[in-house]
Amino acid sequence: MARKARRVTLIHNPTAGNANHSLPAIAKLIKRAGYRVTAVSIKDGNLDRVLDAPGDLIAIAGGDGTIKRVVCEVKPDGPALAILPLGTANNIAAALGFTGSMEALIGSWEVAKLHPFYRFDAEGPWGHACIVEGIGFGCIAQAIDEIEASKPSVADAQKRIAQSILTSTAEELDLWLQSETLSGRFALLELTNIPLVGPHLHLAPMADPSEPLIHASFLEDQKDRRLEFSKWLLRADTDVAAPVTTWDIRRRATPAIAIPTTVTTMVTNNSYGNRAENVRQTRLKRNRPPRNRRGPSCNL
């Protein structure tokens, strides 16, 4: 942004990552950079009230779960968002270009430019959910459900998925992508608009959340494909794209103003009953520091 935002609303998760951080210490760094800070813990239970009257900038200090909670509550026409990544995987922060020390990230706010960010709203028989990172079916989703409570490291989670992909139960899915249909048995299927999924897996390297575009990354239920994916995980070369197939669900010109756009994606899950996702993308603003790193143009 061209002019320094004088008021910052800081939302902090004290248990994110290794929990080796504190709200007062982060607030002090922001104040030292010349901002007035309203600092709150996401554990206080008053997030709605805080976001009803935010500052000129909302700073989210936490991991992917914290970011999701805030992003799903903020208004599309509200103040810009900035991320101070403190989590384990930090997929969303990495996808948006929020890397570096906390001091460097805070120092970049004065000159950073605003870029849009699209979130998803999904509705089905199971209810309503705001989606920021993605919707998953199959092995990755199953493994994360099983190990999430133990808060494993990224490396341990990747090893668990590498083992699970070899024997996990396939899901029978029918995916309607406007005029095309994708049907079959899948070891995994992820719908996402950021490059990284789960324990830092590059499933959709060209995904760009500044565009109203959803990526479907999938692995068919074939022994050789499962083995290839497992070996990719165990080689620890997950900074390169995963050996999966990726389809674009939708591509349309980015709207010039911050207004909601809508796309409907139907998913039938024959293993666990029918499900239909009605996916709406809402455009948000976020404050990103200048990008200065090599790699595909998939970060905002």
Give yes or no for residue 191 having a pLDDT over 90: no
151 touches 162 (CB < 8 A): no
Average pLDDT for residues 91-99, to the nearest whole number? 84
Check residue 227 and give its pLDDT: 95
Q: Is the model more confident about 129 or about 60?
A: 60
pLDDT tier, 291 (very low <50, low <70, confident <90, very high otherwise): very low
Give the residue range(s) of CATH 2.60.200.40 domains in the chain: 120-288
Within the chain, which residue ranges are assigned CATH 3.40.50.10330?
A: 7-111
In whole angstroms, give the CA distance from residue 100 to residue 112: 14
Q: Is the dihedral of CA 58, 60, 64, 70 positive or negative?
A: negative
3-state class (DSSP) for residue 68: helix
Q: What is the pTM of this model?
A: 0.74
Give me the chain's average pLDDT, please.
76
- Per-residue pLDDT, 13: 93
Q: From 2.60.200.40, 2.60.40.420, 3.30.70.2080, 3.40.50.11890, which CATH number describes the 120-288 domain?
A: 2.60.200.40
Over residues 179-206, the mean pLDDT reads: 84
Q: What is the CATH number of domain 7-111?
A: 3.40.50.10330
Most confident of 100-109, 192-201, 253-262: 100-109
